[in-house]
Structure 1
Amino acid sequence: MPRPRADALRNRERIVSAAREMFVEFGPEVPLDEIARRAGVGNATLYRHFPDRQSLVREVVVYVMSRTTEQAERASADEADPFCALRRFVHAAADERIGALCPMLSGDFDADHPDLHAGRERLDGAVLGLVARAQSAGRMREDVAVGDLMVALSQLTRPLPGTGCLNMDRFVHRHLQLFLDGLEAPARSELPGAAATLEDLRSTA
């Protein structure tokens, strides 16, 4: 098949970027013509790339997962201290609005699509690596697992209903830092219950 033209690729990127912004601000049901308007393209251009809402939502989810994975890999490569790498990743993932994905992953969303499966596997592996290195170095408490990290990250970065997310931004990194302080070893308390694994998260989805 012929490669897409450069202008077509730029339009696709603009649509996905605009969709991510508007999904964060207004939720996944935002009108597609509003997304096209923010992207600076016509409705026909949007539908040429994404024939329905589900295909656009899927592309946004894959896009956010890919960018978040890159942040995890970059932090791991750049930071000598494994807990500093984990801390850097968590704050970077917050800036990617990873918590805003949660409302999109419901209804008739195809969570088993091959693109999503591949993106999820890559992200899971990158985050598992960060946590494993931090715990092996004695820098992160042993009674938590990746699921605990992802639950807190998703909840703390998910826009609250009825609030303007831009007004809440100033609290996100502050509260994430409080959470991260609680992950450092040595542990200052005993946690109730068992550590949450990625398998636990999948079983409750």
Structure 2
Amino acid sequence: MATVTDQPQRRAPRPRADAVRNRERIVAAAVELIVEHGTELPLDEVARRAGVGNATLYRNFKDRGELMRHVVLTVTDRISAHAEQGLAAVEADEADSFGALRTFVHAAADERIGALCPILHATFEHAHPDVVAARDRLTVAVEGLIARARATGQLRSDVGVGDLMVALSQLTRPLPGTGCMDFDRFVHRHLQLFLDGLMTPARSELPGEAATLEALRQE
């Protein structure tokens, strides 16, 4: 007679392909709306832009907080992967340190890094274990890129990871108003100007102290 331990383990059913696509469309729509309008995104508009009904949205995400958390995790993981790839390329002598940092900055822009603004929002669930883990992974990877570029004398010494991330978030989000919605065509041009300003020799002394992500979250 078979014991309990002899019984085959039941696997959770895989989500249907259309359900996965709907979830991905919802997240993509939320990313764009956060970049364009900030964290107070109307869920009805998320559903409309994703091409799904409100019921479908709420089946996947119970409220705005859960949706924003998933957006943050998705974008953070993608950006972290780019930073880690840059580090690996430097360590394998396949890229110079500042070149890897430059490649990361442009890749982060393409991943819509401006959607990470909820991390700095007062009402966001910063202490959620998944968010903490994702944020720490990103911080370690970007700090690694910055440290290597600084060690080779290519990156000015008074720039911190917070400075980089804040500038990236600001430069990749459109200004308020519909007149600036055709913003993406300028992003990489302006990022290149910003990156040139990070290189040594520095033309000026920066006021204040280098920003850290921890300090930004506390303000």
Equivalence for 1:136: 151
**Cα drift, residue 116 of structure 1:** 0.9
Q: Deviations over 1:49-81 (max 9, x none)?
A: 101111111111111111111121223333520
Equivalence for 1:2: 12
SS at match of 1:167: coil
Amino acid at match of 1:147: G
Equivalence for 1:169: 184
**Cα drift, residue 107 of structure 1:** 4.6
Identical-pair percentage: 67
Q: Deviations over 1:136-182 (max 9, x none)?
A: 12221122221221221122123212245541222222221111111
CA distance in 2 between partners of 1:119 and 1:164 (Å): 34
Amino acid at match of 1:33: D
Evaluate the alpha carbon distance shift between residue 31 and residue 190 of structure 1 in structure 2; reply closer, same or farther with a 3 A threshold: closer
CA distance in 2 between partners of 1:5 and 1:33 (Å): 24
Equivalence for 1:76: 87
CA distance in 2 between partners of 1:123 and 1:103 (Å): 15
CA distance in 2 between partners of 1:105 and 1:65 (Å): 13
Equivalence for 1:67: 78
Q: How many residues align?
A: 204
Amino acid at match of 1:2: A
CA distance in 2 between partners of 1:90 and 1:55 (Å): 27
TM-score under structure 1 length normalisation: 0.88
Evaluate the alpha carbon distance shift between residue 183 and residue 10 of structure 1 in structure 2; reply closer, same or farther with a 3 A threshold: same
Task: Choose 22-31 or 148-157, whichever is displaced more.
Answer: 22-31
Cα RMSD, aligned residues only? 2.1
Whether the 8 Å CA contact 1:22–1:30 is kept in 2: the answer is yes
Amino acid at match of 2:46: I
Equivalence for 2:53: 42
**Cα drift, residue 104 of structure 1:** 7.0
Structure 1: gaps spanning 5 or more residues: none
Whether the 8 Å CA contact 2:33–2:41 is kept in 1: the answer is yes
2:163 to 125, 135, 148: 148
1:79-94 aligned at under 5 Å gives the runs: 79-94=94-109
Whether the 8 Å CA contact 1:99–1:153 is kept in 2: the answer is yes
